[in-house]
Amino acid sequence: MKKTTAPIILLCCLTWSVFSKPQFPEKEKDPAYWNKWAQRTLHDALQLQELNKNVAKNLILFLGDGMGVPTITAARILKGQLSGVSGEESQLEMDKFPYVALSKTYNTNAQVADSAGTATAYLCGVKANEGTVGVTAAAVRSQCNTTSGNEVTSILRWAKDAGKSVGIVTTTRVNHATPSAAYAHCVDRDWFSDGEMPSEALEAGCKDIALQLFENIPNIDVIMGGGRKYMSPKNTSDVEYPAELKHSGTRKDGRNLVEEWKNRMADQKGHFVWNRKDLLSLNPNDVDYLLGLFEPGDLPYDLERNKETDPSLTEMVDVAIQILQKNPQGFYLLVEGGRIDHGHHEGKAKQALHEAVEMDRAIHRAGLVTSLEDTLTVVTADHSHVFSFGGYTPRGNSIFGLAPMLSDVDQKPFTSILYGNGPGFKLVNGVRENISTVDYEDNNYHAQSAVPLRSETHGGEDVAVFSRGPMAHLLHGVQEQNYIPHVMAYAACIGQNKRHCLSASSHAPAPTKTPAILMALLILTGTLC
């Protein structure tokens, strides 16, 4: 009896100790602290009456795959705790953006969306079926013959056609669901190479996603992520892992797409890199085209990253912007923090949240090297997850720590972080596992879930959209997800949204006398837009 009650008594004592000592700064007891904070915020908000209606020279979309609102909040706390504070009062970079909206993420045939149909929405401007990229809802997943005639183009293509430089940076393979919607038209998100495609689809003329990366928009200026094995012939050894068969090439057509790209770009300042050292040794002034494939598949989690061979998301973004911003007409950059999603699917909340914090570092870096005056930056997610944290935890509680109470049903402790379903469901002798016997702050700990699944599922709630820069105020309220690229295109005067740029001067009251030089400048500005 003593053995079972002692831990409970100890935990209760610890709980009382936590609650009896306020875990917050002394200054927060003074109402003047909160009032001054609110007044500063009010002052900043009033400044937003002066809307930034500049033409956006540059467009950056940061996509946190699976980064629902609970993930954002937990990542904010983690960011603060990593810097030695309690965390709740901290700010993510995206928190500082002046405009916030909500995006409805459902697919045309799915209440709870997947990453392919959503990518088609926020990149191509139309809602689509789950599992399909770059095609309308008339296309049916895995049915090759429904592809032709149902293709839709993305904002990356609109920007390229307008003379801008374009780039894709991701922590997943570059032919994964999110990036592929920027350039591919495919009825199955899993057709990474022809080695993953059914023979009937190949015979019907459908192309794999890796091939489309290099053929559909052949001059994408910057491509960085993983996915080497999908670019080389079947059984070809990987440059980094030559002895590991699982990393060998998958292509059945015998083509080496990387070598083909290198040959095509040889005289165009094109560079291929496969490790961090080579990436960071590049002089961006000498690079017009960059292909960086740092892993056979997805990049490793940031917590497990080999800092000698794999660049961080922040490093990739920094190099990408340095190359892209050389174009006087500006650029479009898609950045995906793709492994936030993978961490959640595996029930590994610590991996997911550290991925989100790393993406926030990349957002900070992008802000340092661009200007609010001419760069529209949008941060959002494709969908959420059934991830939550609660349990009446006290201020400053480790985001990966225990709730300050035992379950009043099974009398066992539980972590604040829990999943609605996933691999963390575990019974020991027919009852819930006692997590006091495991290291629940381990990097790869599977947080407990209510329903057993090998892979945790997405969540169906709306996700946040943060924006700053020219026309950012147009991203407001609760919107359909496909609205996002239309706003970005409008801000940059590309795609369908050009007329307002050409006629903007006609809406302003005409002065009695317009100097000839000023008139010439106005006409030139309208022509360039």
Q: Alpha carbon of 16 to those of 25, 48, 50, 411: distances in Å? A: 19, 45, 50, 17
Closest CA to 279 of 311, 314, 257: 311
Among the listed residues 175, 49, 203, 65, the one whose alpha carbon sits nearest the alpha carbon of residue 122: 65
For residue 272, the one-letter residue type is F
Binding-site residue set: 65, 176, 178, 336, 341, 345, 382-383, 458
Closest CA to 154 of 202, 194, 100, 118: 118
| CB neighbours of residue 140 within 10 Å | 18
DSSP string, 251-293: BSS---HHHHHHHHTTTTTEEEE-SHHHHHT--GGG-SEEEEE
Q: Distance between CA atoms of 193 and 191, rounded to whole angstroms?
A: 6
Q: Which of 139, 134, 138, 137 is nearest to 116 (CA)?
A: 134
Residues making up the binding site for Mg(2+): 65, 176, 178, 336
Give the residue numbers marked as catalytic.
115
- Rounded to a whole number of angstroms, the CA Rg of the chain reads 25
Q: What is the distance between the alpha carbons of residues 333 and 222, in angstroms, rounded to a whole number?
A: 9
Annotated binding site for Zn(2+): 65, 341, 345, 382-383, 458
The CA distance from 515 to 518, in Å, is: 5
**Helices 349-368 and 69-82: crossing angle, nearest 10°?**
80
Give every CB contact of residue 244 below 8 A, 6+ residues apart in sequence. 238
